[in-house]
Amino acid sequence: MSSYAITGTSRGLGLEFVRQLSQSPNNTVFAIARNPDSATKLQDLASQRPNLHVIKADITDPQSLSSAAASISKITNGTLDVLINNAVSTNQAAAPVPPSQIPLDVTATTEFFRVAYESSLFGAIWTTNAFLPLIEAGKDKKIVHISTAMADQHLIKNTGISLTVDYAVAKGAMNVLVAKYAAELAPKGIKVVALSPGWVDTFEGPKPAEYEGFVEYLLNSFRKIWPDLKGQIVPEESVRMVLEVVDGLSEEQSGLMISHHGNEDWI
């Protein structure tokens, strides 16, 4: 029996993590959501599975994370086996802007990166530190931060993708943070990893033409490395593979960014 806490569970990958993990009654699953009352799919799932607990918290609000950890601690008697930090926010207006077009203006540049850094870097710190005492007392002692291959320098160089600067740079900073945590926590037997879930289609509802165009741009870019690539995978497949990697996470992998294959094969 293992206990899991997952952030960003209202939709997409986070919701799929919750769905797959809570399928086993032997798991105790804590679904952390910023606005759980409006997360109808999550609430419907929780109403059917007594081993699933919905917890309100925002990864950009340290106090709410502390409160969430305290709530979980009461249920688990002060332990947590696996933390999966999946929540992320980005500035959508920044996505199509290459680095040379970031304004020569302090306020504009700060705003360009603010949302991504608050969630991917600061949120990763606050989430880790809020739950760290529970992880230390847990059995599996694993902390997983969902990252992205868009922060891999070799991929950027070989595909020529110069966009999504805010997201990629913030996740790159998070990857270094993961390595620092892994170095600090290794003596306590805690494994910390950045894990890319692959190229996953998490868009819900009708897709705007500009979104479809961006996906086509990425597909053509990725084909420079993977010429036989057909397209995105679905959340169910991605999460299944990610959980297999998490289950078998080794000390050698701790501190690294790895993929849903357990290596650096990002697609």
Provide the 10 A C-beta neighbour count for residue 183: 12
Q: How many CA atoms lie within 13 A of 79 on its CB side?
A: 12
Which one is catalytic: 171, 180, 188, 230? 171
Over the Cα atoms of the chain, what is R_g?
Answer: 18
**What is the widest separation between alpha-carbon atoms in the chain?**
54
Q: Could you give the 3-state DSSP secondary structure of residue 51?
A: coil
Partners of 82 in beta bridges: 4, 142
> How much of the chain is helix, strand and coil, in % rounded to 5?
50, 15, 35
| Contact between residue 86 and residue 143 where contact means Cβ atoms under 8 Å apart | no
Known catalytic membership, residue 171:
yes
Query: Around Cβ 38, how many Cβ atoms within 10 Å?
Result: 10
Helical segments of the chain, H only:
12-22, 40-48, 62-76, 106-117, 123-136, 153-159, 165-185, 209-222, 235-247
Which residue in 38, 135, 17, 11 sits closest to 80, CA to CA?
A: 135
Annotated catalytic residue: which of 167, 180, 181, 217?
A: 167
Q: Which H/E stretch holds residue 127? A: helix 123-136
Cβ contacts of 90 within 8 Å, gap of 6 or more: 115, 116, 119, 164, 166, 167
- To the query of whether residue 167 is one of the catalytic residues in this protein, the response is yes
Catalytic residue ranges? 167, 171
